[in-house]
Structure 1
Amino acid sequence: MHRARQARSLVTAAWAVACALALFVPCCMAAKIIADTSLNGTWSSGTGAVVTGQSFFNLVNNTFNIPKNAGQAYSFTMTSDTTGYWEQAVYQYMRPDTSNPRCFKAQLLWQHGNFTIYPNASLVLDPFRADGRQQLSDSCGDGNDKVQYYAQQEMMQSFYISKYIHYDQPSYKLQLYEFDGTPKPPMYLAFRPPEMYPTEGLHKFMVGLM
Structure 2
Amino acid sequence: MRTLSLLPLTLAALVLAQDDPIRYDLEHNATTLIGTWSSGAGLVQTGPVRNFCSPANKTFNPPPVAGISYSFDGDGNFEQVEYRFGSNPAKPACPNATLLFQHGKYQLLPNGSIILDPIPEDGLVQTQSPCTAHSSTIQQFNVTVLFKEWRIFFDPLSQGYHLHLFRFDGAPLNKMILRYETPIMHPTTTILKPEPTAPARRRRAYVEQRSDAPRSATAAGGIGLMMVLLGVVMLV
Q: 2:113: which partner in 1?
A: 122
Deviation at 1:146, TM superposition (A): 0.9
CA distance in 2, matches of 1:108, 1:175: 21
Q: 1:203: which partner in 2?
A: 192
Unmatched 5+ stretches in structure 1: 1-26
Q: 1:85: which partner in 2?
A: 77
Bigger Rg, which one: 2
The structure 1 residue matched to 2:141, chosen from 131, 135, 150, is 150
Deviation at 1:155, TM superposition (A): 0.3
Q: Taking every aligned residue pair, what percent have the same amino acid on both sides?
A: 35
Deviation at 1:144, TM superposition (A): 4.1
CA distance in 2, matches of 1:66, 1:95: 18
Q: 1:111: which partner in 2?
A: 102
Q: 2:32: which partner in 1?
A: 38
Q: 1:136: which partner in 2?
A: 127
CA distance in 1, matches of 2:185, 2:152: 20
CA distance in 2, matches of 1:158, 1:143: 38
- CA gap of 1:96–1:112, structure 2 versus 1, over 3 A, is same
Residue deviations 1:7-65 (CA, integer Å, cap 9, x gap): xxxxxxxxxxxxxxxxxxxx65x623211111111111112121011211113421101
Name the SS of the counterpart of 2:25 in structure 1: helix
Unmatched 5+ stretches in structure 2: 1-21, 199-236
Q: Aligned-residue CA RMSD in angstroms?
A: 1.9
> Does the aligned pair in 2 maintain the 1:129–1:205 contact within 8 Å?
no
Instruction: Give TM-score, length-normalised by structure 2.
Output: 0.69
Residue deviations 1:53-91 (CA, integer Å, cap 9, x gap): 121111342110111211100001022xxxx11001100
> Does the aligned pair in 2 maintain the 1:162–1:173 contact within 8 Å?
yes
Name the SS of the counterpart of 1:108 in structure 2: strand
The one-letter code matched in structure 1 to 2:143 is: Q
The structure 2 residue matched to 1:74, chosen from 70, 84, 94, is 70
